[in-house]
Structure 1
Amino acid sequence: MFLASGNTETMHKVGRYLKSMIIGIIFIALIYLLLEYTGSPVGAIALASMAAAPALYFACRRTPLRPPLDLDKQSEPKGSDEIHYSKLNEDGTDVKFISHLYEDTLTIYDAVRRGAKVSNNGNMLGWRDSRDSPYQWMRYNEALSRAKNFGSGLINLGLRPGSSTLVGMYAQNCPEWVLTEHALYCYSMAIVPLYDTLGPDAVRCIVDQTEMQLAVCEEDSKVKLLLQKPSRYLRKIVCVKEVYPETYKIAADANVEIYRFEQVEKLGAEKMNKEVPPRPDNLCTICYTSGTTGNPKGVMLSHKNVIADVSAVSLQLGDHKPRSSDVMLSFLPLAHMLERTCHVVVYMQGGSIGFYSGDIRNLMEDFKALRPTITPAVPRLLNRIHDKVLSTVNGSLSKKYLFDMALSSKQRDLEKGIISRSTIWDRLVFKKVQESMGGRIRLLVVGSAPLAGNVLTFIRCALGCVIVEGYGQTECVAPATLTTPGDAKPEHVGPPLPCCAIKLVDVPEMEYYTTDGQGEICIKGTNVFMGYYKEPTKTKEVLDDDGWLHTGDVGTWLPNGTLKITDRKKHIFKLSQGEYIAPEKVENIYQSSIYVAQVFVHGESLKSCIVAVVVPDISTVKKWAQEQEIEGTVSDICANPKIKKLILDDIQDIGKSKGLKSFEQAKDIYLHPDLFSIQNGLLTPTLKSKRPQLKQYFKIQIDDMYKNLN
């Protein structure tokens, strides 16, 4: 992600200025020569205008992007297993999987120091104290100095250097999050992110499993949560912000010491410990996946894993990779690897990262204040922008007509590989959209969940910037595939990155076979994780003896060598906001309703909620119906809105009492009069739901429910 350094916007302005000068000089020279020739000022100007027109065209025309890959052949299968490799690999063998881009950057510790050098000690971390204040910046050398002081202070508090020392980090995105992470790397320690959606039980489980002695917290409420179910291992907490007196008392009762962040920095500076930089194979983080059932699993990633992945992303982006002039807005959770991968690739090139204010409702104000040039994003944010624009233009025929013309024009450019925000349509139609995100976005990386094709195309046209979409898992750092800059076709996730290979394997129970070009996605390469922490059995379930990570996702290869995600092998799916749902868990809870005989819960990665098909318990429902003087056949009862409300309210109440989160609750139901059975093909011989068949059988009803919810 790195071109020549220098401000992109300034370079474009200089380019436009030079073009104008050249055209002006040509025009004046032609007028002078033609005046001599014709003797008529009017004639000279007219002829000069005609002669200068081609120069004007060639000077102002927009040139297509130069993709780093052949868009018609982005990857090719090799061998009997039809393994797909990146075309950016030298010879397509696993020996050539990229592990680093620069010889002096083999660890995350190295990456930040390289950034300090190439940026000439430029801005690294930015924040603002309030919504009305401007961003202020910490430079690379100051950040590195503070990180070293903090790390040294942790050693003075009794932590031992080395990757067996695991330190918790429980905070929203902020400079101290990054300082803590790099403080740990100064002494080869590893960071374990904690986050709110885990819940107190899961947090306690993580602290116990990692035998975490020390955690860094952002503020008082998070300290209290750690102390709510105190672990016998946790003895010290470092807090960034002020801690209330009563919290100190709770900590003392639990035999836990509390320190302030600046106190530890000062302690480290007063007695400096010699750094112990990590090696590439050292553990850098244990990133716990939130999961849907049971305790979360700790994904162990090495420095080599992360550097391999960010290096591969940089190669894939070609001329559009980050550079030292870039500014990124950090708002996706640093507890997850997508955001942290974006941080590393920006630091490696000496770019700057500004943090959002902490309230997602004010995110667009942060965009306007920071004016970033690159940013990661999730479908939920882009869907909102898309929906807001459409709701505005749909209220006016003239606006809708102009919008459709603008979108069609820019889409034609997009299909030619031309990406621009200098057209007449950008000034008339898309300027507000661009300004809502600061007006300078040149690269946007989409991850976490699939993005609908029409939304992706709209955002590409409206923002006039390169937008790439990736696919991966925490177990392979973040992305394992990435769409190629210049590829305008949506609804695929691109070819494999040059740090890994991808193959498909049969999923006979779902009737997916590689002979038909479909199967479970398996990944092998330098970005594949070290295993689940203290979970060898679970590790073997997903990582086979040959090093292939079995993702549980089902995909198919498109003719141009890009991958399309089509299904999920395990009965777990992700909603558009990135939340995972275990439908069987929800079904088991809803099944306890006296009104429910059978239930099928369904969700889609392009939707933000789940819906359900319910077969009512006829005898119970009929009894209630008679009391309400509702008569009719079973079909009539199922179609009655009062009965639908009765059942929906009941299952939601049960779900709430059983601890289901809001996003785990069905927002609409369809009542079906006939039981699922082996005979109608909706149950297996062991009476388990055939989910693909149920999804297809109730496709019309599911589509209607989502349509009504929009």
Structure 2
Amino acid sequence: MQKTLLQLVEEGYPLNKTGVCMAVKRDGQWVETPIEDFRKKVARFAMGLYGLGIRKGDRVGLHSENCTEWILCDLAILSLGAVTVPIYATQPGEQIRYILEDSEAKVHITSSQKLFQAFAPYVDELPNLQLVGILGQFHDRMKTLDEVMTDGKALLNSEEAIYPAMVAAVEPEDLATLIYTSGTTGMPKGVMLTHWNIVSNVIAVKEHGFFINTEEHGGGKLLSYLPLSHIFERCMTFLAISSGFPMYFIPNIDTFTTDIQEVKPVHFTTVPRLLEKVYTGIQTKVEAAPGAKGKLARWAFNKANSYEVGTPKTGLGWKLADKLVLSKFRDLFGGNLVGITSGGAALPSKIMSFMNGIGIPTAQGYGLTETSPVLTIYNKDRLVAGSAGVVLKGVELKLIPVEGGSGDEGEIVVRGPNIMKGYYKKPKETAEVLSEDGWFYTGDIGRLDQTGNLFITDRKKELLKLSTGKYIAPAPIENELVLTPEIEQAIVIGNGQKFCSALLVLNVPALLHEIKEAGHSLTEDQVWDHPEVRAHLM
């Protein structure tokens, strides 16, 4: 039976054992919002938007860091049958103006003065756009969130029948969100996703089996740092609420290490880059550790590093490594993690092996904004290193051979209830990726093993063709390079050339540490021309 996001969320409230719906860290303190307070605020803000003229089908822009109010605003917009248009916190002002204009947004919500500054030069170009500020008033045309909720509360009291009628009128196939995906060229395209696109995906992930579930881990907390403007984290937040878990939002990734130890979550979603940084950070400290403790730490690190995912950890060696060293690594993540789910890019096998080796189950899924987003996800009882998991129930997946791919590789093509309705006002671009019978062409290259596990090779458009005629997939090479502590970023180039090269962005603090260990004391300005540095990098 199809349902809306509003119905999905309502099913989760009674399952919550903590009484806390969500929390956000402000001024160094966690601000928790109880479930009933949250529900009241959603209704009040929805009616406040109604008072501003928002009706079913209208678009509302939402530009904010991760916070409780992000989801509050989202659910209020959806309660009216309106459409949320999320905007990345880092989006340039010109693109914000384009998105608001292209989506024909009637109201635009901004969290802070800092974020509003990007759009401020373009405000006068959209004179009919109504403005709402979450944390204050940043323009003379702007109302604050509290003011809009106060107006909504009055309207709820005077017109009691409007809000429940608006909620009841929302249908599963109604458009829920327009998510503008950034392309390599031109302005972003608006991906049209319905309530059922997203709900079907959340249900399929829950039925497939996740690292956490209400029965075993109810009462635990979830941590969120990935942008809610991306469908991955938004979908995972709906999964959390509908499963009865409170979500704790980190507005600033710079405080991640402190925040995760305060919250002590049972789960969080991530992109591989965070885990890569954790890995290289631990590696650097372990390599620098002196004496017998350093020798022990390196032994345990190497043991976790060479762990074969899915195999049992038996024997005295594992017990000693875990008690003396690996448990300390787990404490860096708060000590309560049941698992970590990675997405957004391929999770290197070495990182997956290490994380599982230290005792934190870590695996990945695969999907795109256009697929709401999950297409494949790990089997928690049979993890496979390097795999993006198996196909979700209800999703069909096939591989179409491509030029440059090996015999068992092909472009990943999918069909299911989670596939977008198309790109907003862009029928030509929609027809290029979505067939008349519902097959979506992802542009990603992959292969399937005999057990149905999907392995992502690269993006179809990113394959490099050397002058020799050989095709190179750059992503696996780049993923391996950034595992070196001294390398922050890497990009492989060589299209049309005889061989590949790599452009590297160095991790200067790590490099300085290595040079210091070799007996040299250099400043950041001196590091680039020093012969010892060049020799080390070569």
- TM-score range (shorter-chain normalised) is 0.7 to 0.9
Find the residue that maps to 1:182 and give its secondary structure. helix
- Spell out, residue by residue over 1:548-574, the C-alpha distance to the aligned partner (whole angstroms, 9 max, x if none): 11011111112222111112212489x
Q: How does 1:212-231 map to 2 (within 5 A)?
A: 212-230=105-123, 231=125
- Spell out, residue by residue over 1:604-646, the C-alpha distance to the aligned partner (whole angstroms, 9 max, x if none): 36748999xxxxxxxxxxxxxxxxxxxxxxxxxxxxxxxxxxx
Q: How does 1:10-49 map to 2 (within 5 A)?
A: none
Whether the 8 Å contact between 1:121 and 1:140 is mirrored in structure 2 is no
Alpha-carbon distance in 1 for matches of 2:325, 2:107: 53
Residue matched to 2:528: none
Shift of 1:405: 4.4
Question: Which of the two has higher C-alpha Rg?
Answer: 1
Whether the 8 Å contact between 1:443 and 1:465 is mirrored in structure 2 is yes
Residue matched to 2:522: none
Range moving further from structure 2, 469-478 or 116-125: 116-125
Whether the 8 Å contact between 1:481 and 1:494 is mirrored in structure 2 is yes
Match of 2:371 among 464, 467, 476: 476
Find the residue that maps to 1:229 and give its secondary structure. helix
Residue matched to 2:416: 525
Residue matched to 1:373: 266
Residue matched to 2:179: 287
Which residue type is aligned with residue 442 of structure 2?
Answer: T
Residue matched to 2:27: 130
Find the residue that maps to 1:117 and give its secondary structure. helix
Alpha-carbon distance in 2 for matches of 1:237, 1:534: 24
Number of aligned positions between the proteins: 484
Residue matched to 2:394: 499
Find the residue that maps to 1:351 and give its secondary structure. coil
Question: Structure 2: any 5+ residue segments left out of the alignment?
Answer: 157-161, 466-470, 483-487, 507-533
Q: Is 2:13 the counterpart of 1:107?
A: no
CA gap 1:181/1:425 in 2 versus in 1, 3 angstroms? same
Match of 2:207 among 290, 308, 315: 315
Alpha-carbon distance in 1 for matches of 2:98, 2:112: 21
Match of 1:447 among 331, 343, 368: 343
What is the alpha-carbon root mean square deviation over aligned residues? Answer: 3.2
Shift of 1:243: 3.0
Shift of 1:400: 4.3
CA gap 1:531/1:610 in 2 versus in 1, 3 angstroms? farther
Residue matched to 1:44: none
- Spell out, residue by residue over 1:313-344, the C-alpha distance to the aligned partner (whole angstroms, 9 max, x if none): 11222574355423111110001011001101
Find the residue that maps to 1:198 and give its secondary structure. coil
Whether the 8 Å contact between 1:280 and 1:304 is mirrored in structure 2 is yes
Residue matched to 1:341: 235
Residue matched to 2:475: 604
Residue matched to 2:224: 330
CA gap 1:436/1:543 in 2 versus in 1, 3 angstroms? same
CA gap 1:667/1:416 in 2 versus in 1, 3 angstroms? closer
Residue matched to 2:150: 266
Identity %, equivalent residues? 25
Residue matched to 1:237: 131
Which residue type is aligned with residue 377 of structure 1?
Answer: T
Whether the 8 Å contact between 2:490 and 2:503 is mirrored in structure 1 is no
Shift of 1:200: 1.7
Alpha-carbon distance in 2 for matches of 1:409, 1:570: 35
Alpha-carbon distance in 1 for matches of 2:177, 2:476: 28
Residue matched to 2:511: none
CA gap 1:227/1:702 in 2 versus in 1, 3 angstroms? closer
CA gap 1:169/1:610 in 2 versus in 1, 3 angstroms? farther
Q: Is 2:537 the counterpart of 1:537?
A: no
Residue matched to 1:184: 77
Whether the 8 Å contact between 2:458 and 2:475 is mirrored in structure 1 is no
Q: Is 2:250 the counterpart of 1:353?
A: no
Which residue type is aligned with residue 178 of structure 2?
Answer: I
Find the residue that maps to 2:392 and give its secondary structure. coil
Whether the 8 Å contact between 1:371 and 1:440 is mirrored in structure 2 is yes
Whether the 8 Å contact between 2:223 and 2:268 is mirrored in structure 1 is yes
Find the residue that maps to 1:216 and give its secondary structure. strand
Which residue type is aligned with residue 143 of structure 2?
Answer: Y
Shift of 1:380: 1.0
Match of 1:465 among 360, 363, 374: 360
- Spell out, residue by residue over 1:676-710, the C-alpha distance to the aligned partner (whole angstroms, 9 max, x if none): xxxxxx9xxxxxx55xxx4xx424x4499999879
Range moving further from structure 2, 119-128 or 380-389: 119-128
Whether the 8 Å contact between 1:602 and 1:610 is mirrored in structure 2 is no
Which residue type is aligned with residue 192 of structure 2?
Answer: M
Residue matched to 1:117: 14
With structure 1 as the length reference, what TM-score do the two structures score?
Answer: 0.63
Q: How does 1:654-669 map to 2 (within 5 A)?
A: none
Find the residue that maps to 1:604 and give its secondary structure. helix
CA gap 1:522/1:367 in 2 versus in 1, 3 angstroms? same
CA gap 1:128/1:197 in 2 versus in 1, 3 angstroms? closer
